[in-house]
Amino acid sequence: MKLWLILLTLISFNPFSFADEGLTIVAVGEAEVEKDKMVFVPHNIPSNANSTQKKIINEMQSLFQNDFSFYKQYFDVMKASEYSSAAKDKDFSQLKKKNLRYLILSNYELAPGGQVTVEGTLYDAATEEKMTMVRDTFSANNLREKGHQLTDRIFKAIKKTDSIFNSKIIFVSDRNTTRSKQVKELYMMDFDGRNPIQLTRHQGTVISPALSFDGKKVLYSLIKNNRNKNRNVNLYVMDLETRNSRVVSSRKGINSGAVFMPDGEHIALTMSHEGNAEIYALSLNTGKTRRITRHFAPDVDPSFNSEGTRMVFLSGRSGSKKPMIYIADPRAEEKDVKRRGFVGDYNATPRFSPDGLEVAFASWMDGKFDIFRIDQDGRNLYRLTKDFGSNEDPTYSNDGQFIAFSSQRVLSQSKAVQNIYIMTREGEILGQVTENFGNCSTPRWSKY
């Protein structure tokens, strides 16, 4: 939506009320799925651990519990105290009586330099079989990174697929804003909100970030006054390993709303250098461009399925000139364009799910944004948020099971705060992942 607001300063729209066209909005309830009980039990904790090692051990136990608690649709994570004796003795008959399915026994060994070696063994209590064993050595500095790797390996042994535990979320925050200058910079954090790090230091306004499919690069646009006091929206790409960034497009006007195309060598972005805001494909290697859209109404905010055969975007071509969702084949100009958005006064930030079967988006209704999802063919519209502040910028997790989004809460007549939350794809709010970090917006979830 940020890009559309920029366009409003450049393009004149005719006000026109838009009526919904017959789609039924369905509120999504929690699916009836039988959950497996699981428990993490420390088998031994060395009594001679120093304060640093004790902290590592306590944090590891907490991390095990917290990671799997996100997958409430699959697991009931139980308190260790309820199963401790039977678990340590591997008394599977008692564990079965308590309907426990998965037991993870953790052993801790002290290692040089204040480190701790952690060994976790996963058992299927139903079959009494050992499913896997994971082991690594941790320091206070790499605890969370390696800890998420261990929990992911345990998850994969159970579900035979990757979890969200190794994934990252990038986002924009204004925490460095002062009374005299607004500053919005780009940050990256673990999926659960821990370990936030600052990526950009432009002292300007960063908008519209996007991660590459391999998670190694990030696109973003920057609004900053130049020497002549003119403001241009330029597009940058950053290598996340080196943290080096370069300008990709600085054509006059808008160079924003960019996303990586699945081949990793091209991006799609909105540019207005020819007058109207249109979506173009641009080669990162050669800089050559080709048009994807050509319409007198503005076209912005593309998102691609993983095959690169479908592109969802916003366009004012409906007649009201308010942004609504459309889908097209991006391999040619104006190919197979179809409208998909019919809910609300206008739509914002459409994003494909990893499997390309559905699109999450925000819609302006009743004076605020709420988040919806719809099948890519336009069927099965579901409302995911309601009576939960103003919610926008949805982004799917790498496994498609979760959606991160930004939510603004009004604290008083003169103050509001915006933070990032996570919910399941069914709309169950799992919690807030940013706090006391300024106003946080435009989350983008890594694919890995």
Same domain? 151 vs 107: yes
Q: What rounded mean pLDDT belongs to the chain?
A: 91
399-440 pLDDT, tens digit each:
999 999 999 988 777 788 999 999 999 999 999 999 999 999
The whole domain housing 319 covers 2-29+168-445
How far is CA 267 from each of CA 218, 289, 308, rounded to the nearest angstrom? 11, 10, 11
Same domain? 111 vs 238: no
Q: Could you say which of 159, 179, 201 is where a domain stops?
A: 159
113-122 pLDDT, tens digit each:
999 999 999 9
SS3 360: strand
132-167 pLDDT, tens digit each:
999 999 999 999 999 999 999 999 999 999 999 999
Same domain? 23 vs 76: no
10-55 pLDDT, tens digit each:
333 333 333 333 444 555 544 456 799 999 999 888 999 999 999 9
Cβ partners under 8 Å of residue 8, min gap 6: none
When divided into structural domains, the chain yields a total of: 2
Same domain? 254 vs 177: yes
How far is CA 144 from each of CA 57, 111, 187, rounded to the nearest angstrom? 12, 17, 18
Cα–Cα distance measured from residue 296 to residue 276, given in angstroms and rounded to the nearest whole number:
7
Same domain? 153 vs 46: yes
SS3 424: strand
Same domain? 173 vs 237: yes
Q: Could you say which of 140, 159, 178 is where a domain stops?
A: 159
347 touches 393 (CB < 8 A): no
Same domain? 393 vs 345: yes
Same domain? 366 vs 217: yes
Any bridge partners for residue 223, and if so which?
205, 233
Same domain? 196 vs 127: no
202-219 pLDDT, tens digit each:
999 999 999 999 999 999
Q: Could you say which of 131, 159, 187 is where a domain stops?
A: 159
Cα–Cα distance measured from residue 105 to residue 38, given in angstroms and rounded to the nearest whole number:
11
Same domain? 78 vs 205: no
CATH number of the domain that residue 285 is part of: 2.120.10.30
Same domain? 420 vs 279: yes
CATH number of the domain that residue 98 is part of: 3.40.50.10070
